[in-house]
Chain A
Amino acid sequence: MKNTSTDNGCERTHLRVWDLLPWVVNGTASESVRREVDEHLRECIHCREELVRQRRVHAGMNAGGGVELPVERGLDRLMRKVEARDEPAAPHVAAAAGGAARSRWAWVACGLAAMVLLEAGGFLALGVSHQPAAYRTLSSPDALLPQASIRLVVDASMTAGELQALLVPRNLQIVGGPNEDGVYSLGALGQGHDIEKDVAALRATRGVRFVEPVDGVRSAQ
């Protein structure tokens, strides 16, 4: 029994030391760990061999010079992205409304334009004073467009069809973008959307590079 207990103790020490060797190799193990390891190494050839092996791996992974990238270039690009992300959602949506709504309303655009022309012609002919229109023009802010609640960046290789297949089942709609950095603003259609859940689902999708809730929307949920 005593021998078994001692063997078990040695085995536990062996496994513990084996696990800790990488941090002895990289020099971050505490003094007490190093003492324990040193003591065990004196009697364990397997751990001594493993220590040599891990030192070689460590040396191999640290060989050679690093890559130098110009910090100014990266910083400049970062700042442009930061500025793009910090643009208020509303102007973004308003500015993009024409483009975003284009596909959605394209088929009614011609009809509306024709109706406007006909109505204008009729008013002129009948001398009727102009009343505020009960319809919206494409240059009007689209009250039906949801508020931007998610920022999305996808791979450049993602097709429009793939993007649509990604958003439609989740009742998400592009309400702005893409801007020069490829950032789309998404709005949720309907009530009771769980933005965090949408964000998590998008993040798990292949081809999605970046997803973040728009500031203020998350807390408003």
Chain B
Amino acid sequence: MLPVVEISIGRPKAAASRSNDADDVALLARIATRDKAALDSLYREYHRRLVRFLARFTRREDLIEEVVNDTFLVVWQKAHEFRGHSRVSSWLMGIAYRVTLKALRQGLLPTESLEGEHEALAGEPGVDHELIDWLNKGLTRLTPEQRLVMEMAYVMGYSLDEIADMTGSPVSTVKARMFHARVKLRNVMPALAGFAEEDQ
């Protein structure tokens, strides 16, 4: 039986280190007045988080950078439309979600390079390589919408309400996407790694 990796129940670092929203609002207000220094600051603040998110879909650095920059181009164009109905981080991640969704739908984020990722983790203690291989294959079977919800919840650590806000979907839709993602992953498990049998 595969060892169960115990994890702490808590918000991941990326989500926990969210900046003060008031500072972000101030930056966004300056960006709306075409202040490039403010865009520079916001970019630096969110760059690592967005790269982490996108690296879940591809290891192609040029593509990751392109999606990050496409996201910030939209921020530059739409900053004046921010009305403060949500946190800036949610608003910005919502833009990143739509840019990434479009890229995934158009097949612009090749996922092949993620397979065999465990080789890069060889020797890292506590890492279940078989599980990672299985997951990388299984996740590619999900629709872009299902995959994004799963990544936003499990990797980015966002709450149900936050994901609904970022994706512009009702909470029930987010739940449904997550439900189908889980079912689909579970269904492909035996075919990919015999995971289900070992789970018994």
Within 8 A of A (CB), among B16-68: 34, 36, 39-40, 43-44, 47-48, 51-52, 55-56, 59, 61, 64-65, 68
Q: Which of A22, A75, A206, A215 contacts B43 (CB 8 A)?
A: A75
> In the complex, how many angstroms separate the beta carbon of A128 from the nearest chain B beta carbon?
53
Q: State whether B55 touches A66 (Cβ < 8 A).
A: yes
Q: Given the complex of chains A and B, what is the CA–CA distance between A24 and B151 in angstroms?
A: 15
Q: Given the complex of chains A and B, what is the CA–CA distance between A63 and B131 in angstroms?
A: 10
Q: State whether B159 touches A28 (Cβ < 8 A).
A: yes
> DSSP class of A's interface residues: helix, strand, loop or mixed?
helix
Q: Given the complex of chains A and B, what is the CA–CA distance between A19 and B176 in angstroms?
A: 8
Q: State whether A28 touches B56 (Cβ < 8 A).
A: no
Q: Does A74 reach chain B (CB closer than 8 Å)?
A: yes
Q: Does A68 reach chain B (CB closer than 8 Å)?
A: yes
> In the complex, how many angstroms separate the beta carbon of A89 from the nearest chain B beta carbon?
14
Residue interface bits A56-71, CB-to-B below 8 A is 1, else 0: 1111111110111101
Q: State whether B73 touches A57 (Cβ < 8 A).
A: no
Q: Given the complex of chains A and B, what is the CA–CA distance between A57 and B155 in angstroms?
A: 10
Name which residue of chain A comes closest to B99, CB basis.
Answer: A210
Q: Which of B44, B124, B131 contacts A71 (CB 8 A)?
A: B44
> DSSP class of B's interface residues: helix, strand, loop or mixed?
helix
With A54-B182, A60-B131, A61-B135: A71-B47 Cβ-Cβ less than 8 Å: yes
Q: State whether B40 touches A75 (Cβ < 8 A).
A: yes
Q: State whether A58 touches B154 (Cβ < 8 A).
A: yes
Which residues from A are CB-within-8-Å of B178? Answer: 19, 22
Q: Given the complex of chains A and B, what is the CA–CA distance between A23 and B149 in angstroms?
A: 11
> In the complex, how many angstroms separate the beta carbon of B22 from the nearest chain A beta carbon?
22
Q: Which of A24, A57, A68 contacts B9 (CB 8 A)?
A: A24
Q: Does B157 reach chain A (CB closer than 8 Å)?
A: yes
Q: A23-B153, A78-B39 are known contacts; what are 19 more A-B pairs with Cβ within 8 Å?
A: A20-B175, A22-B178, A22-B182, A23-B160, A28-B11, A55-B4, A55-B5, A56-B2, A58-B7, A59-B6, A60-B128, A60-B132, A60-B134, A63-B121, A67-B59, A69-B68, A71-B47, A71-B48, A78-B73
8 smallest beta-carbon distances between A and B, as pairs: A28-B159, A59-B5, A67-B55, A60-B131, A27-B10, A60-B135, A27-B9, A66-B52
- Report which B residues bind A (CB closer than 8 A): 2, 4-12, 34, 36, 39-40, 43-44, 47-48, 51-52, 55-56, 59, 61, 64-65, 68-70, 72-73, 76-77, 102, 106, 108, 117, 120-121, 124, 127-128, 131-132, 134-135, 139, 150-151, 153-155, 157-160, 162, 175, 178-179, 182, 185-186, 199
